[in-house]
Amino acid sequence: MEQIVRVRRTLPERKAEIFLIRESACSGDCHKCSGCGAAKETMIAEAENPIGAQAGDFVKVETSSGQILGLAMLVYAMPLVLFFAGYALGDWLGLGGGLMGGVGFALSIVLIVISDRIIQKKSNTVYTITGYAPGQGPAARKGEHHG
């Protein structure tokens, strides 16, 4: 996954602090769906800085899509799997499939919230600065005129 971010400051060992905007699950085009009111969250993260970007530069960062796909699978698939597993178990035990399906669904929501909190504490997402945003970088700075 690639995103344009701003470098907050440089760090030792060819790293940088960056400002990230964490989008909601929707596309962010609120005007297209009458405005859902989903808030954007600004985060500060550490990124590998192999290009030597400086504070204030707008750069492209990439993250591993495998981690993001795994999280999406957790969020979207787990409720379905646990609902149908609960439904089947409840039907087999004679406890009512719908009731046990609902319990399975509720359990999946609890597990997702717990997983989210654990993932946020570990925060092992690796960001890598891969280049400058269009019209940015050292070449663009050389062309700036002050005065």
Q: What is the CATH number of the domain that holds 55?
A: 2.40.50.140
Strand ranges, E, within 1-147: 2-11, 15-22, 41-48, 58-62, 127-132
State the Cα–Cα distance between residues 129 and 1, nearest whole angstrom: 12
What single DSSP character describes residue 4?
E
Same domain, 115 and 136: no
Same domain, 130 and 96: no
Shortest CA distance to 6 belongs to which of 44, 39, 41? Answer: 44
Same domain, 20 and 47: yes
pTM above 0.75, yes or no: no
Burial 98-137 (b: 16+ CB within 10 A, else e): eebbebbbebbeeebeeeeeeeeeeeeeebebeebeeebb
**Does a structural domain hold residue 147?**
no
Shortest CA distance to 7 belongs to which of 77, 79, 61? Answer: 61
Q: How many CB atoms lie within 10 A of CB 35?
A: 9
Per-residue pLDDT at 46: 85
- pLDDT per residue, tens digit, the chain (147 aa), is 788 889 999 999 999 999 887 655 555 555 555 555 555 677 788 888 999 999 889 999 887 656 667 777 788 888 999 999 999 999 999 888 899 999 999 999 998 888 777 776 665 667 888 988 887 767 666 655 544
Same domain, 54 and 3: yes
Same domain, 100 and 138: no
Same domain, 55 and 38: yes
Same domain, 32 and 49: yes
Q: Domain residues for 8?
A: 1-63+125-142
